[in-house]
Amino acid sequence: MPAWRAVGFDLDDTLYPERAYVLSGFEAAARWLEVEVGLPALATLRDLAALFETGVRGDTFDRWLAAHRLPSEPYRQGMLQAYRSHRPRVTAFADVPAALNRLRAVYQLGLATEGVRAVQEAKLEAIRLGGRFNAVVILGEEERPHWKPDPWPLKHLAEALGVSPSEMVYVGDNPHKDFQAARRAGMTSVRLRRPDGLHAGEEPAAPDARPDAEVSDMAGLESWLKSGGAEAR
């Protein structure tokens, strides 16, 4: 059986539902806009959520502003600031806290994520899991060249945990970056494909981006680890 000593985790849509954060941020942006221009926050929230559910990413605020004949600036920047600085109303997936407690008894636990640093820190604080990890690596925007699929954050996490990459499993959800980063770092990777995850219907674009195993929940991960990688579901 593999002599794994550590398990690392991605954050978004692995430990908590990312859709919940997006909607929480949209609500904050809608409230800000209501104060600025008087448009009802609830209607704005519904519009933004509808754009998101149709697959709009990155320019959601620009599209909404254009549709309502409002100038992109200063409103876009104000909405973005409200989105990024709000206190998120998100919680961990129901199966995560107890599973992490059990895993801590066997493995070193780590977290590696990237994004706007203050945003990722706020998410981690909101889901109240920070104390369960022996090491946390958050790469901010100034470190974007080293974001996954670059292996740097995972190598750095292994170093912080005091293990070699080959002694570590990394668990994520995103087929565009998580598993390729793990492979490049020399780690075993597991895809946690939750049915309602934002990337649940997406597949890796290349063979080296495929995970070594796939599970649908934390119970599946625990079983897979216990079997030494012989089981997956």
Q: Which whole-number Å values give the CA distances from 131 to 23, 113, 123, 171, 211, in the listed order?
A: 26, 16, 14, 18, 27
Domain boundaries defined on the chain: 6-17+90-226, 19-85
How confident is the model over 147-158, as pLDDT tens digits? 999 999 999 999
Is the predicted pLDDT of residue 233 greater than 70, yes or no? no
| Tokens matching residue 216 | 């649908």
- CA distances for 150 relative to 75, 121, 147, 174, 182, angstroms: 34, 21, 6, 14, 9
Q: Distance between CA 122 and CA 125 in Å, rounded? A: 5
CATH level 2 (architecture), domain 6-17+90-226: 3-Layer(aba) Sandwich (3.40)
* C-alpha span between 72 and 91 (Å, rounded): 32
pLDDT tens profile 173-207 = 999 999 999 999 999 999 999 999 999 999 998 88
pLDDT of residue 2: 64
- CA torsion sign for 133, 87, 22, 184 is negative
* pTM, entire model: 0.92
Taking CA atoms, 186 is separated from 4, 73, 161, 180, in Å, by: 13, 45, 15, 10
pLDDT average, residue stretch 130-140: 95
